[in-house]
């Protein structure tokens, strides 16, 4: 935790709120905390909160920041949605993400009827869309506050505003250049943590809504990142996941530009840090320098998530991806030659406008050539406001669905074979948790991101241990703790 935060208790609530961040938010956290204390006395019980996350790792990280602020204010975390403060941190990357949120809001309304102290906040990517905000304003009037992706750091201030107002608080920023450092964050695991290295995206892939809801690319200063990782390591973290929509373009727009590979090399130096992961890489920006740094690294995990989206150069062009089928295959080959044990994973979209059977067969061909350890496959979803939404020749749902099923079969067959290639070997894993389905087992993760279930004492959680990968079960292993 930063030195600034240790002084949080010293905030003087008799003075006016500071203008600069993060001091301004400490002021509001302290002010809300006073309110929570009074409320607790009145109700004779603690006030509880729950943050529900939809979508990607970026959102999961934002949720940890929201939880960090709520805990500072004095709310106590609970599972489920029966809480005094419920936040939905939403996703909008595909239409079904939005549908899920609307589906669950009715349930929240019922809970609020039973608990008049309940506050409901909606935030995240979906809230950056005007149509969504209009709909909530009109049809979901029980919601207390809506904010977006750029101002989650303001949660305490928004709560304070809500407490002195009777109406729904709506605070959505279209974009920002602001990066607020030194705010609290509540980690889900004590031994591993996500670390934002950049926000936003400049790529405007033609199907994707992310650049519209997450804004332009902004990189954090390398010094701030190194400091955060050092503090995490001092607090028991051994594995970090560097987060960004396109980590390969990290640092390009900083006053003193620095490459992603150079940032990795700096993080490698941090004593006590054992594993470094990152996500997501855009194939068009993946440099030889990065491959070299990864190859020589003892800490960077043997896993690269390299979304291909389609195997057809024609489709890739319409997607605005800036690489071809051939250049992608060459890149994958180069990575495999440098690091034969690496695991490659990907994202694929099926049914992009204009995709023909021939285009789709090229996607299958790429999957067969690259041999991914796993692939996230998606049916194309039309996002209004993106260029692809108004393209001609939208693919019929039944055709897309049939292709999707064929793709899934191919992907799963290859993934099973790829995962199995380490059967019988002894490997290091980071032990993460008690297996949720069979509590007599622990679950750990290999450097290449595969999961291993094995018998062992609970106090191994958070430690790196060697296991023998006795049996591959398709997408995971059963292992045995190695001697010594």
Give least dist CB 131 to ligand 5AD, A.
Answer: 16
Q: Helix (H, G, I), strand (E, B), or coil: what is residue 258? A: coil
Selected from 115, 178, 204, 474, the binder of ligand SF4 by CB under 6 A is: 204
Binding-site ranges for ligand 5AD (CB under 6 A): 93-94, 207-208, 307, 309, 347, 349, 378, 380-381, 383
| Cβ nearer to ligand SF4, comparing 307 with 479 | 307
| Shorter beta-carbon distance to ligand SF4: residue 407 or 418 | 407
Contact 66, 101 (CB under 8 A): no
Judged by beta carbon, residue 168 or residue 205, the one nearer ligand SF4 is 205
Residue 282 interacts with which of ligand 5AD, ligand SF4, none, CB < 5 to 8 Å by class: ligand SF4
β-partners of residue 454 are 442, 479
Q: Left, alpha or beta for 464 (phi > 0: left; psi -120 to 50: alpha)? A: beta
Q: Which does 378 bind (CB under 5 to 8 A by kind): ligand 5AD, ligand SF4, none?
A: ligand 5AD
32 is in an annotated binding site: no
Q: Cβ 246 to ligand 5AD, closest distance in Å?
A: 10
Site for ligand SF4 (CB under 6 A): which residue of 58, 87, 201, 367? Answer: 201
Q: Is 92 in the site for ligand SF4 (CB under 6 A)?
A: no
Among residue numbers 406 through 465, which ones bind ligand SF4 (CB under 6 A)?
Answer: none
User: Helix, strand, coil % (nearest 5) of the chain?
Assistant: 40, 20, 40
Element (H, E) at 479: strand 476-481
For the chain, what is the total number of helices (H) and then of strands (E)? 14, 19
Report the run of H or E that residue 300 belongs to, with start and end. Answer: none
Cα distances from 17 to residues 29, 31, 155, in angstroms, run: 11, 10, 15
* DSSP SS3 for 97: helix
Q: Per-residue contact track with ligand SF4, 107 to 146, x per CB under 6 A?
A: ----------------------------------------
203 sits near ligand SF4 (criterion: CB under 6 A): yes
Cα 384 to chain center, whole Å?
23
Contacts for 285 with CB less than 8 Å, ≥ 6 apart: 246, 248, 249
- 27 or 323, CB closer to ligand SF4? 323
Return the closest-CA partner of residue 71 out of 33, 117, 102, 119. 33
Which of 123, 208 has the CB closer to ligand SF4?
A: 208
Report how far apart the first and last C-alpha atoms of the chain are (Å, whole number): 35
Check whether 208 is labelled as a binding-site residue. Answer: yes
**Nearest CB to ligand SF4, comparing residues 56 and 408:** 56
Residue 381: name its binding partner from ligand SF4, ligand 5AD, none (Cβ under 5 to 8 Å by kind).
ligand 5AD
Nearer to ligand 5AD, 173 or 378 (CB): 378
DSSP codes joined into one string, 194-261: EEE-EE------TT--HHHHH-S-EEPPHHHHHHHHHHHHHTT--EEEEE-TTGGGTTTTSSS---HH
Residue of minimal Cβ distance to ligand 5AD: 347
The backbone torsions φ and ψ at residue 420, rounded to the nearest 5 degrees and listed phi first, read -70, -10
Supply the minimum distance, in Å, between the C-beta of residue 248 and ligand SF4: 10
Which range binds ligand SF4 by CB under 6 A, 75-83, 146-154, 202-210, 387-395?
A: 202-210
Q: Could you say which of 136, 169, 210, 469 contacts ligand SF4 (CB under 6 A)?
A: 210
* Nearest-angstrom CA–CA distance, 316 and 352: 10
- What's the gap between Cα 423 and its chain centre? 30
Read off the DSSP letter of residue 358.
H
Indicate the residue among 50 and 281 with the shorter CB distance to ligand 5AD. 281
Residue 205 marked ligand-binding? yes
246 binds ligand SF4 (CB under 6 A): yes
Q: Min. distance of Cβ 16 from ligand 5AD in angstroms?
A: 43
Residue 201's binding partner among ligand 5AD, ligand SF4, none (Cβ under 5 to 8 angstroms by kind) is ligand SF4
Q: Are 266 and 226 in contact (CB under 8 A)?
A: yes
Under 8 Å CB-to-CB from 476, ≥6 apart: which residues? 419, 450, 451, 452, 453
Query: Residue 245: which of ligand SF4, ligand 5AD, none does it interact with, CB under 5 to 8 A by kind?
Result: ligand SF4
H or E, element range at 196: strand 192-196
Q: Which is nearest to 36 in space by CA: 159, 121, 151?
A: 159
- The Cα–Cα gap between 152 and 172 comes to 10
Query: By CB under 6 A, which span of 174-182, 199-207, 411-419, 473-481 interacts with ligand SF4?
Result: 199-207
Q: Under 8 Å CB-to-CB from 138, ≥6 apart: which residues?
A: none
Contact 234, 265 (CB under 8 A): no
DSSP one-letter code for 341 = T
Q: Choose between 93 and 446: whose C-beta lies nearer to ligand 5AD.
A: 93
123 among annotated binding-site residues: no
Taking CB under 6 A as the rule, does residue 55 contact ligand SF4?
A: no
- 472 marked as part of a ligand binding site: no
**Which amino acids are annotated as binding site for [4Fe-4S] cluster, given as ranges?**
56, 91, 125, 201, 205, 208
The contact set with ligand SF4 (CB under 6 A) reads 201, 203-205, 208, 210-211, 245-246, 282
């Amino acid at each position: 935790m930063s030195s600034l935060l240790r002084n949080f208790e010293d905030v003087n609530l008799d003075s006016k709120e500071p203008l600069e961040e993060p001091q301004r938010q400490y002021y509001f956290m302290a002010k809300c905390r006073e309110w929570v204390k009074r409320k607790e006395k009145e109700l004779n019980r603690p006030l509880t909160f729950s943050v529900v996350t939809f979508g990607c790792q970026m959102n999961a990280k934002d949720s940890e920041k929201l939880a960090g602020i709520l805990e500072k204010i004095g709310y106590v975390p609970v599972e489920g949605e029966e809480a005094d403060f419920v936040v939905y941190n939403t996703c909008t990357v595909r239409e079904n993400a939005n549908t899920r949120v609307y589906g669950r809001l009715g349930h929240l309304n019922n809970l609020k009827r039973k608990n008049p102290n309940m506050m409901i906040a909606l935030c995240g990517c979906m809230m950056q869309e005007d149509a969504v905000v209009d709909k909530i304003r009109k049809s979901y009037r029980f919601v207390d506050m809506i904010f977006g992706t750029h101002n989650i750091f303001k949660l305490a201030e928004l709560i304070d505003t809500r407490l002195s107002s009777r109406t729904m608080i709506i605070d959505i920023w279209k974009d920002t250049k602001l990066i607020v450092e030194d705010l609290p964050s509540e980690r889900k695991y004590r031994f591993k943590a996500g670390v934002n290295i950049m926000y936003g995206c400049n790529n405007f892939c033609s199907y994707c809504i992310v650049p519209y809801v997450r804004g332009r690319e902004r990189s954090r200063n390398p010094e701030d990142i190194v400091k955060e990782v050092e503090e995490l390591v001092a607090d028991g973290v051994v594995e970090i996941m560097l987060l960004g929509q396109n980590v390969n373009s990290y640092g390009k727009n900083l006053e003193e530009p620095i490459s992603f590979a150079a940032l990795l090399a700096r993080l490698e130096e941090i004593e006590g840090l054992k594993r470094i992961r990152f996500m997501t890489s855009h194939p068009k920006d993946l440099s030889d320098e990065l491959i070299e740094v990864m190859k020589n690294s003892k800490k960077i995990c043997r896993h690269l998530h390299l979304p291909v989206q389609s195997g057809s150069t024609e489709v890739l062009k319409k997607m605005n991806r800036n690489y071809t089928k051939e250049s992608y295959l060459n890149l994958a080959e180069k990575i495999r030659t440098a690091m034969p044990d690496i695991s490659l994973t990907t994202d694929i979209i099926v049914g992009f406008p204009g995709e023909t059977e021939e285009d789709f067969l090229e996607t299958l061909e790429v999957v067969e050539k690259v041999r991914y350890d796993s692939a996230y496959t998606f049916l194309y979803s039309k996002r209004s406001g993106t260029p692809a939404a108004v393209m001609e020749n939208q693919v019929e749902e039944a055709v897309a669905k049939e292709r999707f099923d064929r793709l899934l079969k191919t992907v799963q067959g290859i993934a099973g074979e790829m995962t199995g290639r380490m059967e019988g070997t002894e490997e290091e894993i980071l032990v993460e948790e008690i297996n949720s389905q069979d509590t007599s087992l622990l679950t750990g993760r290999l450097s290449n991101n595969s999961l291993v279930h094995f018998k062992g004492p609970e106090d191994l959680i958070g430690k790196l241990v060697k296991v023998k990968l006795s049996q591959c079960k398709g997408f995971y292993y059963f292992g045995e703790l190695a001697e010594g």
